[in-house]
Amino acid sequence: MNKIDLEVLKKKEMLSVKEVAILLNCSEKSIYRNIHHGRIKAVNFGKRLTRIKRSDIDNLFD
């Protein structure tokens, strides 16, 4: 991802697991593990559609 793509991700309100992994510079597996342990709140909109609110990611660092 280049800088322009990161700026677009920073402005989105709902993010996919892959996008959160890019923002946090970690693996998708780590994101799913944190969702499972309750550290990251996520919503499943279907069998293969998980979304995470941008504000929840920002609150991880407060």
Which has more pLDDT, 28 or 9?
Answer: 28
Quick one: pLDDT at residue 5? 81
Q: Does residue 59 surpass a pLDDT of 70? A: yes
pLDDT-derived band at 62, boundaries 50, 70, 90: confident
Question: Is residue 15 within 8 Å of 25, Cβ to Cβ?
Answer: no
CA distances from 53 to 10, 23, 33 (A): 11, 13, 17
Q: What is the pLDDT of residue 40?
A: 96
The tens digit of pLDDT for each residue in 24-51 reads 999 999 999 999 999 999 999 988 899 9
- What is the domain class of 3-59 according to CATH? mainly alpha
**Averaged confidence pLDDT in the chain:** 90
SS3 for the chain, per residue?
CCHHHHHHHHHCCEEEHHHHHHHHCCCHHHHHHHHHCCCCCCEECCCCCEEEEHHHHHHCCC
Domain ranges of the chain: 3-59
**40 close to 34: Cβ distance less than 8 angstroms:** yes
